[in-house]
């Protein structure tokens, strides 16, 4: 069974991402073509990158890095839930990504962004980061607006059409995760 991690990137107090990630998880969990797990970076609690060697060397020195690697390695694909801060993704998500290398390789990714402009710039930055890590980002993304999909910028009320868009993205992520499996096995 294809295993997909839904990674909640924001660790801020009063974050909107928690409601978004739970919505993604609840809709994804209804599917029977993959297994989904929600990973909240707040509970992972990684420090600011503190590994002495670049992640691409695979020589992780710290227990928290080894534990993070063990968490991420079994997954075939990822759904990144990101806010947009200053036209990019949040520092906590970028930091968590930077800790690892081979654990991301030859997998697929989908993106759910939320912000004033649907976090499109944050997702574009994540696409570049994922490409460097040999992760295939799928075309369809979910772009949620703080103006139209949140009441008073905080109570999550997504427009109905986002559900179909999310399912289309999940279809693509699952297909790409399966297509890349021979590379992961090798």
**Superfamily the domain 3-185 falls into:** Flavodoxin domain (3.40.50.360)
pLDDT tens for each residue of the chain, 186 residues long? 999 999 999 999 999 999 999 999 999 999 999 999 999 999 999 999 999 999 999 999 999 999 999 999 999 999 999 999 999 999 999 999 999 999 999 999 999 999 999 999 999 999 999 999 999 999 999 999 999 999 999 999 999 999 999 999 999 999 999 999 999 987
The model carries a pTM of: 0.97
- DSSP codes joined into one string, the chain: --EEEEEE----TT-SHHHHHHHHHHHHTT-SSSEEEEEEHHHH---S---SS-GGG----SHHHHHHHHHHTT-SEEEEEEE-BTTB--HHHHHHHHT-STTTTTEEEEEEEEETTTTHHHHHHHHHHHHHTTEEE-S--EEEETTTSEETTTEE---THHHHHHHHHHHHHHHHHHHTHHHHH-
Instruction: Sketch the domain layout of the chain as residue ranges.
Output: 3-185
């Amino acid at each position: 069974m294809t295993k997909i991690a839904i990674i909640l990137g924001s660790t801020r107090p009063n974050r909107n991402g928690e409601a978004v990630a739970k919505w993604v998880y609840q809709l994804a969990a209804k599917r029977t073509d993959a297994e989904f797990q929600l990973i909240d970076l707040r509970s992972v609690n990684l420090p600011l990158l503190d590994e002495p060697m670049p992640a691409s060397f695979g020589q992780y020195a710290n227990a928290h890095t080894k534990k993070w690697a063990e968490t991420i390695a079994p997954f075939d694909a990822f759904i990144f839930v990101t806010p947009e801060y200053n036209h990019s993704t949040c520092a906590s998500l970028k930091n968590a990504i930077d800790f690892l290398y081979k654990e991301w390789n030859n997998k697929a990714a989908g993106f759910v962004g939320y912000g004033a402009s649907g976090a499109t710039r944050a997702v574009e930055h994540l696409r570049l980061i994922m490409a460097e890590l040999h992760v295939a980002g799928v075309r369809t993304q979910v772009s949620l607006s703080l103006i139209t999909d949140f009441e008073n910028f905080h109570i999550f009320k997504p427009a109905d059409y986002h559900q179909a868009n999310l399912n289309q993205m999940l279809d693509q992520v699952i297909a790409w995760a399966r297509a890349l499996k021979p590379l992961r096995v090798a």
